[in-house]
């Protein structure tokens, strides 16, 4: 341990792929609070300690101590993958320290690393569930054991450390030895097994890059290529698609099975494809991304329709009420899209990152950072009351955020993502084009060709659609004499900012001219002192489901800028149930007057009487209503009512409620 604060590298970033595009370092953008800054503050102030406390309380940390002191046994607490939560928290701490330089975060990190490192075997193996007295032997349950999965998260945490403080670090050393062990065990000539839960692939590929160690990349490649040949032993009643062992990665057309597994695998495959210049493999993931986004992705960006296997459904199988949309799948989707964005520059990947960050990742944590959604359904049919405060909860049923879960993968995944949010905000292309992929108020300071570019971004986005970018400083060069070089500022006009049927986006250039801007990238040549203003139309808008989505037929959703909105029962007039509401889509959704709902919308709706239940009959009948319904008379107050919608990410903060994103029109 060191007593003097470490120097952190502001350019540290999780994905440091070869190629023309370089993502922003977590220290290169200082946020002024705002949407993401506040989440980041809560993450640092509350969530880290919350996770630490729970893992200590449940013995997940002590599992490492028991390996170290040789007292393991059959009664180990936690699931077989609980080590990975510790590693994800380490990764979160590493990014937080890298972004802020806060020595207390570094101290917490180091104390944790000491306990982890003490559990590492002499040959580099590190796992508290397998391979020690009283425990199953190493790699005896590749399908369900999650050993390599845990190692993958260990490596990702180490990558955060390499990037932020350099390779001379205790966790990096632990990870290097663990990776070497994996290469020995599973490399050419060793076992040809794979892990039931992908993650080792992305961990090895990232560490290979960070340490310039091609053996790790090669091992990642081997794991990617071995998959899809049905070698994993079946898990319960689930087929090989559950863990993507049904079709080789480079042959698959769509994501299927367990969503987090599919997406971690895809992230690793992109890393491998980029590092090995395997365009065929990269194209395969791009193809899978496109088909899955077009047919198997929710309005929120959420992925995974099914509870049964936490998995993707068939095409168009997107039920709002039983949407699984696991928080971790949202995190993993951002990982994949960001990698494809760096690899291709295609704006669609940035659009999906935004959609997923605002509506999945930001939805999971409660405002105080001490409770989380595991699943993120788009409809809550009954008020959720199944969460025990201050207790371990089952993972999936929605309605109320829970402090901790039996399978508690989501809190630490949110923590590491929020801690490194800046890394997904911008990138630099060929050292000359600075691209803003996400918008938040703050100061950006990044290396470009010839020197440093300093941008000041002012915006209340997503509440307000105006984003003002001032070039505070740009490199000075030989041409023109005495002035700064021209740099290209590339701004993202989100897909939702369409010109059709309403005000579209505009860009006001340094010349003061306001120009319409179509969705996609818009380039502006700027020099020091220039100001560019992007105007995005964040008025509420209706979004209609594709008619092939059976479960959303006859409904409409409301979005506002990047935010998906929701109608929550606590906002309904007394005596009105959510099932009674029918939105009138002929009346545009509009901005609410009151401050409480300022980021939401108001819609006009009618309140329909609920049909009577036909006693003892299934709820189907000849009259478009249950059989024997009396057809109650129209209530006196059946005039249209105005109803407020709130941002989906903030629902369930006001007690148990029902909620819907897709509100019926018929």
C-alpha 141/C-alpha 396 separation (Å) is 25
Provide, rounded to whole angstroms, the least separation between the CB of residue 5 and a copy of itself.
43
Nearest CA-CA partner of 322 in 337, 306, 300? 306
Provide, rounded to whole angstroms, the least separation between the CB of residue 410 and a copy of itself.
14
C-alpha 63/C-alpha 414 separation (Å) is 23
Q: Between 34 and 611, name the residue whose CB sits nearer to a copy of itself.
A: 611
Q: Which residue has the tokens 């502001």?
A: 10
Dihedral sign (CA 209, 210, 215, 220): negative
C-alpha 486/C-alpha 6 separation (Å) is 35
**Radius of gyration in angstroms for the set of CA atoms belonging to the chain, rounded to a whole number:** 25
Provide, rounded to whole angstroms, the least separation between the CB of residue 216 and a copy of itself.
31
Q: Between 150 and 352, name the residue whose CB sits nearer to a copy of itself.
A: 352
Question: Which residues make Cβ contacts (< 8 Å) with residue 440, sequence separation at least 6?
Answer: 29, 31, 34, 35, 36, 37, 425, 457, 459, 461
Q: Between 275 and 351, name the residue whose CB sits nearer to a copy of itself.
A: 351
Provide, rounded to whole angstroms, the least separation between the CB of residue 360 and a copy of itself.
12
Element (H, E) at 104: helix 103-118
Nearest CA-CA partner of 81 in 207, 195, 193, 180? 195
Q: Between 294 and 596, name the residue whose CB sits nearer to a copy of itself.
A: 294
The alpha carbon torsion through 623, 553, 608, 620 (nearest 10 deg) reads: 30
Q: Between 205 and 352, name the residue whose CB sits nearer to a copy of itself.
A: 352
631 SS3 class:
coil
Provide, rounded to whole angstroms, the least separation between the CB of residue 315 and a copy of itself.
7
Tokens of 225: 């290529």
C-alpha 260/C-alpha 410 separation (Å) is 11
Provide, rounded to whole angstroms, the least separation between the CB of residue 74 and a copy of itself.
15
Tokens of 431: 């050292």
Q: Between 254 and 436, name the residue whose CB sits nearer to a copy of itself.
A: 254
C-alpha 571/C-alpha 383 separation (Å) is 14
C-alpha 380/C-alpha 484 separation (Å) is 55
Provide, rounded to whole angstroms, the least separation between the CB of residue 316 and a copy of itself.
7
Tokens of 429: 């292309």
Q: Between 45 and 548, name the residue whose CB sits nearer to a copy of itself.
A: 548
Q: Which residue has the tokens 């450390």?
A: 161
Provide, rounded to whole angstroms, the least separation between the CB of residue 556 and a copy of itself.
8
Residue 571 falls in which region: left (phi positive, over 0), alpha (psi -120 to 50) or beta: alpha
Tokens of 302: 């959420």
Provide, rounded to whole angstroms, the least separation between the CB of residue 370 and a copy of itself.
22
Residues across the chain:
666
Q: Between 137 and 513, name the residue whose CB sits nearer to a copy of itself.
A: 137
Tokens of 599: 């980021």
Q: Between 478 and 633, name the residue whose CB sits nearer to a copy of itself.
A: 633
Provide, rounded to whole angstroms, the least separation between the CB of residue 417 and a copy of itself.
20
Question: Which residues make Cβ contacts (< 8 Å) with residue 638, sequence separation at least 6?
Answer: 606, 607
Residue 281: CB atoms within 10 Å: 21
C-alpha 89/C-alpha 80 separation (Å) is 17
Cβ–Cβ < 8 Å for 464, 453: no
Provide, rounded to whole angstroms, the least separation between the CB of residue 333 and a copy of itself.
11
C-alpha 19/C-alpha 610 separation (Å) is 59
Burial of 616 (0-12, 13-18, 19+ CB in 10 A): exposed
Q: Which residue has the tokens 């220290």?
A: 27
- Measured N-to-C along each axis, helices 82-100 and 409-419 cross at an angle, to the nearest 10 degrees, of 20
Provide, rounded to whole angstroms, the least separation between the CB of residue 18 and a copy of itself.
24
Provide, rounded to whole angstroms, the least separation between the CB of residue 307 and a copy of itself.
4
Q: Between 575 and 615, name the residue whose CB sits nearer to a copy of itself.
A: 615
Provide, rounded to whole angstroms, the least separation between the CB of residue 548 and a copy of itself.
5
């Amino acid at each position: 341990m060191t007593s003097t604060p470490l120097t952190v590298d502001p350019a540290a970033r999780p994905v440091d792929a070869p190629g023309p595009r370089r993502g922003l370092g977590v220290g290169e953008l200082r946020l002024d609070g705002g949407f993401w800054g506040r989440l980041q503050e809560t993450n640092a102030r509350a969530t880290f300690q919350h996770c630490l406390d729970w893992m200590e309380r449940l013995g997940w940390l002590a599992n490492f101590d028991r390996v170290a002191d040789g007292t393991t046994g059959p009664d180990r607490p936690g699931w077989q993958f609980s080590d990975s939560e510790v590693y994800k928290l380490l990764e979160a701490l590493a990014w937080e320290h890298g972004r802020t330089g806060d020595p207390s975060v570094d101290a917490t990190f180091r104390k944790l690393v000491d306990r982890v490192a003490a559990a590492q075997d002499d040959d580099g193996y590190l796992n508290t569930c397998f391979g020690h007295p009283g425990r199953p032997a190493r790699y005896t349950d590749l399908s369900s054991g999650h050993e390599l999965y845990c190692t993958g998260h260990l490596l990702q945490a180490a990558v955060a450390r390499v990037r932020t403080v350099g390779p001379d670090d205790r966790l990096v050393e632990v990870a290097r030895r663990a990776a070497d062990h994996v290469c020995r065990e599973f490399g050419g000539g060793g076992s040809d097994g794979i892990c039931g839960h992908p993650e080792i692939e992305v961990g090895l590929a990232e560490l290979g890059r960070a340490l310039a160690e091609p053996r790790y990349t090669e091992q990642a490649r081997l794991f990617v290529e071995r998959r899809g040949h049905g070698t994993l032993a079946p898990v319960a009643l689930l087929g090989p698609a559950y863990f993507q062992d049904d079709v080789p990665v480079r042959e698959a057309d769509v994501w299927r099975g367990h969503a987090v597994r599919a997406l971690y695998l895809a992230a690793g495959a992109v890393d491998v494809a980029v590092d090995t210049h395997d365009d065929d493999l990269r194209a395969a993931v791009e193809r899978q991304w496109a088909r899955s986004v077009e047919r198997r992705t929710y309005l929120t960006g959420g992925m995974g329709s099914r509870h049964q296997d936490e998995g993707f459904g068939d095409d168009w199988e997107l039920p709002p009420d039983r949407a699984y949309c696991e928080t971790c799948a949202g995190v993993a989707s951002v990982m994949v899209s960001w990698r494809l964005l760096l690899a291709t520059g295609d704006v669609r990947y940035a659009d999906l990152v935004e959609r997923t960050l605002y509506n999945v990742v930001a939805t999971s944590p409660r405002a105080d950072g001490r409770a989380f959604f595991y699943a993120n359904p788009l409809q809550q049919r009954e008020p959720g009351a199944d969460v025990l405060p201050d207790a371990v909860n089952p993972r999936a049923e929605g309605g109320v955020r829970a402090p901790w879960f039996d399978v508690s993968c989501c809190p630490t995944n949110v923590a590491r993502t929020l801690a490194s949010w800046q890394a997904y905000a911008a990138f630099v292309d060929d050292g000359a084009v600075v691209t803003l992929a996400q918008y938040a108020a703050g100061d950006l300071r990044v290396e470009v060709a010839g020197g440093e570019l300093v941008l000041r971004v002012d915006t209340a986005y997503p509440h307000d659609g105006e984003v003002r970018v001032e070039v505070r400083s740009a490199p000075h060069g030989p041409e023109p004499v005495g002035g700064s070089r021209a740099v290209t500022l590339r701004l993202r006009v989100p897909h939702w900012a369409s010109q059709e049927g309403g005000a579209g986006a505009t860009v006001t250039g340094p010349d003061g001219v306001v120009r319409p801007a179509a969705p996609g990238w818009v380039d502006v040549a700027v020099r020091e002192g220039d100001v560019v203003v992007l105007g995005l139309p964040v008025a509420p808008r209706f979004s209609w489901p594709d008619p092939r989505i059976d479960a959303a037929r006859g409904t409409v959703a409301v979005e506002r800028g990047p935010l998906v909105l929701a109608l929550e029962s606590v906002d309904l007039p007394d005596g009105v149930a959510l099932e009674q509401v029918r939105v009138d889509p002929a009346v545009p959704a509009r901005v609410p007057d009151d401050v409480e709902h300022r980021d939401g919308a108001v819609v006009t709706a009618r309140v329909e009487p609920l049909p009577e239940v036909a006693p003892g009959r299934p709820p189907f009948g000849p009259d478009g209503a249950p059989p024997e319904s009396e057809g109650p008379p129209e209530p006196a107050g059946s005039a249209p009512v105005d109803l407020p919608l709130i941002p989906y990410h903030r629902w369930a903060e006001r007690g148990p409620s029902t909620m819907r994103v897709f509100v019926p029109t018929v």
